[in-house]
Amino acid sequence: MPKQIDTILINIGQLLTMESSGPHAGKSMQDLHVIEDAVVGIHEQKIVFAEKKGAEADYEADEIIDCSGRLVTPGLVDPHTHLVFGGSREKEMNLKLQGISYLEILAQGGGILSTVKDTRAASEEELLQKGHLHLKRMLSYGTTTAEVKSGYGLDKDTELKQLRVAKQLHESQPIDLVSTFMGAHAIPPEDKDRPDEFLDRMLDLLPEIKAEELAAFADIFTETGVFTVSQSRRYLKKAAEAGFGLKIHADEIDPLGGAELAAELRAVSADHLVGASNEGIQQMAESGTIAVLLPGTTFYLGKHTYARARDMIDAGVRVSLATDFNPGSSPTENIQLIMSIAALHLRMTAEEIWHAVTVNAAYAIGKGDEAGQLKAGRSADLVIWQASNYMYIPYHYGVNHVHQVMKNGTIVVNREGGIHG
């Protein structure tokens, strides 16, 4: 007697399961296992099998999805976003054209601080509605799990408001969200001359955030004119003591030693890393800290020097990729575009890129056991692409290649389209 299950995907041209017992380090990111002519079975929101054609022989399904030779992969994981914010910053584009830099705009009270003003002024309802719009777009590009940071409040009420909105968003739309408290994102104007007191006030919020389960991680912007390495060390140590996983916006613009700090504190991830030193890279390889690279931000800031992904991979670092979606330095929800920029500017291979946006990204947000892999027992989160092969996605850039997105066994995005490649 065949076993009855909910759904079987047949005629999968290429299947990437990304099966792995941990994040892929360094050169092993090149080892991509591709199953040609594959099938996937799904029952009660979970994967039953994901294998070569023939595995479906013992099963009957209520619904058959004919993939007609398409590529199928796990749902993508975007491990670094700032998606809950008020307002927008299109006016900064012209300032940039006049040669005013990102850090100069911030020093003049613009940049992050202008979004802080708008986020403080926005109601919870407004932030929720806006968050829904961004998440809907992220989902349409194939992202089924994402991280979201606070950090546009920089005061108690607004930081908590952002985190509560993120929690409601997690509960009310398909993308699973992991929250990070980033009260240490900038120094607000009212505390301009007392950064340490400001940090203490943000640290005071940790017990409440923990009690309400509003965030799993704490993050800080370690950068010239924002927080120093020693301020960051003090802040992150306290956050670790309070039970938070650690993340750092490290060496984004100036090389301050953020990568070394991340390794020293055994942070789960260090993000940006454009200016990371050789020692920092080596130490991250040894500590197992995942490098979350954000080449869309380098691109959007108009810089010509990108993070040294090749050196990181050669050194054995576990590399991941994210959009950094935010209203200032990376206004895009499109992780497929990031995959293309990673190929062109980080010189990552398609095989490395797929690890970076699935299994490694999931481990970068503490979700390695739940997301980023398509295997028996896992939630049925997957993407059916308008392409026949995995190399095609980073290659044909700037457009959306999603055919269908499945979250927990349900098709949540359906876009008509053929098959390329």
Question: Which residues are at the interface with ligand NIG (CB under 6 A)?
Answer: 82, 111-112, 115, 221, 249, 252, 297, 324, 326-329
Name, in order, each residue with C-beta under 8 angstroms of 211's C-beta and a sequence gap of 6 or more.
none
Distance from the Cα of residue 383 to its chain's centroid: 17
Residue 260 touches which member of Fe ion, ligand NIG, none, C-beta under 5-8 Å by kind = none
Rank residues 26 and 225 by Cβ distance to ligand NIG and give the closer one.
225
Beta bridge partners of 38: 12, 52
**Strand, coil or helix: what is 147?**
strand
Distance from the Cα of residue 203 to its chain's centroid: 24
Q: Min. distance of Cβ 70 from ligand NIG in angstroms?
A: 34
Torsion of CA 221, 222, 225, 230, to 10 degrees: 130
End-to-end Cα, the chain, rounded Å: 39
Rank residues 269 and 358 by Cβ distance to Fe ion and give the closer one.
269
Rank residues 112 and 321 by Cβ distance to ligand NIG and give the closer one.
112
| Strand (E) or helix (H) holding 235 | helix 229-241
Query: Considering only 42-50, 258-266, 323-331, 382-390, which stretch makes contact with Fe ion by CB under 5 A?
Result: 323-331
Residue 181 touches which member of Fe ion, ligand NIG, none, C-beta under 5-8 Å by kind = none
Residue 333 touches which member of ligand NIG, Fe ion, none, C-beta under 5-8 Å by kind = none
Rank residues 82 and 130 by Cβ distance to ligand NIG and give the closer one.
82
Selected from 147, 176, 260, 324, the binder of Fe ion by CB under 5 A is: 324
CB 159, CB 165: distance < 8 Å: no
Name, in order, each residue with C-beta under 8 angstroms of 90's C-beta and a sequence gap of 6 or more.
none
Residue 162 touches which member of ligand NIG, Fe ion, none, C-beta under 5-8 Å by kind = none
Q: Min. distance of Cβ 381 from ligand NIG in angstroms?
A: 25
Of all residues in the shown chain, the one whose CB is closest to ligand NIG is 328
Q: What is the distance between the alpha carbons of residues 145 and 405, in angstroms, rounded to a whole number?
A: 12
Q: Min. distance of Cβ 35 from Fe ion in angstroms?
A: 35
Q: Min. distance of Cβ 151 from Fe ion in angstroms?
A: 8
Q: What is the distance between the alpha carbons of residues 89 and 101, in angstroms, rounded to a whole number?
A: 14
Angle between the N-to-C axes of helices 195-203 and 229-241, in degrees from 0 to 180, rounded to the nearest 10: 10
Residue 115 touches which member of ligand NIG, Fe ion, none, C-beta under 5-8 Å by kind = ligand NIG
Tell me the two tokens of residue 389.
């092969």
Please report whether residue 223 would count as binding Fe ion according to CB under 5 A: no
| Strand (E) or helix (H) holding 406 | strand 402-407
Q: Min. distance of Cβ 326 from Fe ion in angstroms?
A: 6
336-340 contacts at long range (C-beta below 8 A, 24 or more positions apart):
336/141, 336/142, 336/393, 336/394, 336/397, 336/399, 336/400, 336/401, 337/296, 337/397, 337/398, 338/294, 338/295, 338/296, 339/393, 339/394, 340/394, 340/395, 340/397, 340/398
Total residues in contact with Fe ion, by rule CB under 5 A: 1
Helices (H), 108-205: 112-121, 124-140, 156-172, 195-203
Query: Which residues ranging from 168 to 187 are in contact with Fe ion (CB under 5 A)?
Result: none
Q: Min. distance of Cβ 111 from ligand NIG in angstroms?
A: 5
Of all residues in the shown chain, the one whose CB is closest to Fe ion is 324
Residue 252 touches which member of Fe ion, ligand NIG, none, C-beta under 5-8 Å by kind = ligand NIG
CB atoms within 10 A of CB 193: 8
Rank residues 14 and 329 by Cβ distance to Fe ion and give the closer one.
329
Q: Min. distance of Cβ 102 from Fe ion in angstroms?
A: 12
Residue 25 touches which member of Fe ion, ligand NIG, none, C-beta under 5-8 Å by kind = none
Rank residues 79 and 174 by Cβ distance to ligand NIG and give the closer one.
79
User: Which one-letter amino acid corresponds to residue 285?
Assistant: A
Q: Min. distance of Cβ 268 from ligand NIG in angstroms?
A: 16
Residue 251 touches which member of ligand NIG, Fe ion, none, C-beta under 5-8 Å by kind = none
Q: Min. distance of Cβ 16 from Fe ion in angstroms?
A: 27
Binding site for Fe ion (CB under 5 A): 324
